[in-house]
Amino acid sequence: MSSQIRYLALGDSYTIGTGASDESHNFPSILSGLVSKATGSRVELTNPAVNGFTTLDLIAKELSHLERVKPDVVTVLIGVNDLVQNRSVDEYRTSLREIYDRIGALGLPPGRVAAISIPNWSVVPAAAQYGEPQLIKSVTNGFNVAARKEALDLGFDWVDITGVSTYSLGSPGWIASDQLHPGDAQYAAWAEVIWDRVRDAWARASRPLSV
């Protein structure tokens, strides 16, 4: 019997894949391919992420997809624009908790929700437009500490891509031509790290294909 997995990817430019050569190279699309190959299931990806979105934008514009899609698996990567807009860690934590609570209300089995860290963007050339690199890195780490705690408190998987985001810095395709966002190679590396973390739980997420 044919089966499918409904995957909802929530987030901002990092999720929609700003900087990638096309949408097939954003991490949710790559991850969908890995899931489909491993399970033999069709992956129905819904990716409503928007460049520049904060947690508040995600709440207002993306959370409605939870009821609409009724996903089997979810990823959420959000926060860098809260940081850029000078929201405090506590403000970020409050709105992030609302997002996580809404996802948690789906009652998905353990391992089906992956909360993903903000990458280390302090090292990209364009980061200097937003402040001193060490300060950017410090604030980003603070946001990630808050996000990790909130995710683990709800039993979500926490996927740290912060290390891999600088793994091949300087190599072709790692940073996009805008000198800010990831390129195809970096998005692919993220997808592999996420897949390694969610593989076992997501492989059990298949449901009979609707007709």
Residue boundaries of the structural domains of the chain: 3-203
By three-state DSSP, how is residue 97 classified? helix
* H and E: helices and strands count for the chain: 8, 6
Per-residue model confidence as pLDDT tens for the chain (211 residues): 479 999 999 999 999 999 999 999 999 999 999 999 999 999 999 999 999 999 999 999 999 999 999 999 999 999 999 999 999 999 999 999 999 999 999 999 999 999 999 999 999 999 999 999 999 999 999 999 999 999 999 999 999 999 999 999 999 999 999 999 999 999 999 999 999 999 999 999 987 776 4
SS3 of 65-90: the string is HHHHHCCCEEEEECCHHHHHCCCCHH
Give the residues across from 77 on adjacent strands: 11
9 touches 75 (CB < 8 A) = yes
Cα dist from 83 to 6, 79, 87, 202, 211, whole Å:
30, 6, 6, 31, 44
Q: Which fold has domain 3-203?
A: Rossmann fold (3.40.50)
CA distance 100 to 91: 14
